[in-house]
Amino acid sequence: MSTNPTGFITVPKGLAKVVVTDTELGDVRGDEGFFHYRQYSAVELAQQVGFEQAWHLLERGHLPDADELASFTAEAGRLRVLPQGLADLLPAVCATTSDSLQVLRTALSAWGGIAGLRPLYDCHEDEKRAAAMAAVAITPTILAAAHRLHRGLEPIPADPTLTHAADYLRMVTGQLPAARDARAVEQYLVATMDHGFNASTFTARVIASTGADLAACLVGAIGSFSGPLHGGAPSRALEALDEIGSLDRADGWVRERIGSGARIMGFGHAVYRTRDPRSEMLKTIARGWDDPLVDLAVGVEDAVEAALAELKPGRELHANVEFYAGVVMKLAGLEPSMFTPTFCVARAVGWTANVLEQSRDPKIIRPAARYVGPPPPQPVPSGTRTPLPA
């Protein structure tokens, strides 16, 4: 970073490695291939606890004991049931767009009005927490309903007695999921709840810093998240596997992509300079299925790394979370159109936790831009006009 003549600090593009605030929620240590939620390894949490426990940790600050977990899970289940006004609105919203994330954006915006959300600036802590919990709880219900409405099917009401992950799969597919499928999706959800100051999280925090209501923060986050360079990659990675088709085509396909300079979806990460720990965990989960898709994914990953070592020695490019996420979600019964929405079900926890944390800081986030356009006129005395070109 450097200071220019105006006194502003010039930072790297994309704010890379620039620390903009303090957080107690977690961190991503990209050079080490490690990330954590508060004081716990995020991957170990995904391997050992359920969605509700990790959600409680991020929102409330600690892992719940048995009584806290029972109370939190019951409350989350109750809140998954859509308010009637929102349920009535969804068919009309789904008629305007086939994109489930666009439906979620609109629905959460409407929910903010239905729920009477006040600006965070005016809310006490309990009110903020109640809004955050309700928003996370209804997100999978909205997305599952949108998926079914887009296919001419009736939405399936939430079942408050089920866990968050199992009920989400049931509401999407119409069937109570097998324990293995529900647990695989749950582990994915826990591992992707939060991930440092990614674009959508930062967007949510910028909006929260203005004192806006929680729904506004989430609508902005989802808008950022919908971009293919952020949350939109899992289905694109699976499309690449479908295009390759078989292991004997993998090496040629990879080399053609590298030679043309085309992006290989599902590989590389803005932060990790080694293997993405989420990808490694999801690969292990995927291997729990005896399915040709798993063999193809592992073979393509090997082909990418081998070709890069030969054609671009020294370049680190490993599978990221999206690569195996698509494989796991497909094998668990989700269609590709639901991959990014499922990512959103998880990330709603991190967004709301970050919004709550940011709302406690009275300072608005207001960076500066460096002007590089045509030279402006010199300042003139007050009351004097600068003539414009004829």
Instruction: Find out whether 234 and 241 touch, Cβ atoms under 8 Å.
Output: no
Residue 47 phi/psi, 5-degree rounding, is -80, -25
DSSP, residue by residue, 311-352: HSTT----B-HHHHHHHHHHHTT--GGGHHHHHHHHHHHHHH
Non-local CB neighbours of 27 within 8 Å, separated by 6+ positions: 35, 36, 196
- Judge whether 280 counts as a catalytic residue: no
Q: Which two tokens stand for residue 378?
A: 């010199």
- CB atoms near residue 229 (< 10 Å): 10
Q: Residue 318 class from Cβ within 10 Å (0-12 exposed, 13-18 middle, 19+ buried)?
A: buried
DSSP, residue by residue, 303-322: HHHHHHHHHSTT----B-HH
Ordered strands of the 40-41 beta sheet:
26-29, 34-37, 40-41
- Judge whether 322 counts as a catalytic residue: yes
Which residues, listed in sequence order, are joined to residue 9 by a DSSP beta bridge? 3
Catalytic entry in 164, 195, 269, 318: 269
- CB atoms near residue 200 (< 10 Å): 25
- So which residues are the catalytic ones? 269, 322
